[in-house]
Structure 1
Amino acid sequence: MAGNPRNGRRYRALCDWLRAQRLPCWLCGHNIDGALDAKHPMSFTLDHLVPLSKGGGLLDPANARAAHRRCNSARGNRTTIPQPRASRRW
């Protein structure tokens, strides 16, 4: 396969399918604003439940999740979901 597989037609179709569902971020639970620029930290990205580096399928819809760019980046290639820090205020 030549080029970046994330620029391919099937990957873009998977992103469009997931974006059309208007699901909240699976990591933090907040809504994702579809009108934001793609480079905005709170914009939509496709995250993989099982990271690609751990053997997850790139084009598998069962492995695709909607996430904020910031949440997706913070998770990295870990298989666990980072827990939010507790507030010091009780």
Structure 2
Amino acid sequence: MAGNPRNGRPYRTLCTQQRALGLPCWICGRDIPYEITGPEAGKHRDAFTLDHLVPLSRGGNLLDPANARSAHRGCNSRRGNRLTTAQPRASRRW
């Protein structure tokens, strides 16, 4: 039985490459505090996490750089496995 592919070197390399880009969260557009690392990153909702444009449960490729996106841990969790992010509602014009 194979181990968790997220613990392998190719996945960790992809995470490192995505983190090095320093991009804002692709879901909310706010900056990601990339200085949050180590054990505290697993609990901090604003920490960097690797998200996938096409969720893995919907057939997305875990190791495809074209499918990788930078996101806040909280934004990634709220998005779940939906294919698109929720668009902000437009305000009414009076």
TM exceeding 0.5: yes
Say whether 1:8 aligns with 2:11.
no
**2:73 is matched with which residue: 69, 77, 81?**
69
2:78 counterpart SS class: helix
Note the residue ranges of structure 2 that are not aligned, 5 or more in a row. none
Say whether 1:31 aligns with 2:31.
yes
Note the alpha carbon deviations across 1:24-81, whole angstroms, 9 max, x for none.
Answer: 0000001100112312100000000000011000000000000000000000000010
Paired-residue identity, %: 69
Q: Which runs of 4+ in 1 moved over 6 A?
A: none
**Deviation larger for 65-74 or 33-42:** 33-42
In the aligned structure 2, how far is the partner of 1:16 from the partner of 1:44? 11
* TM-score between the two structures when normalised by the length of structure 2: 0.85
Say whether 1:19 aligns with 2:19.
yes
**Deviation larger for 74-83 or 59-68:** 74-83
Q: Which one has the bigger helix percentage?
A: 2
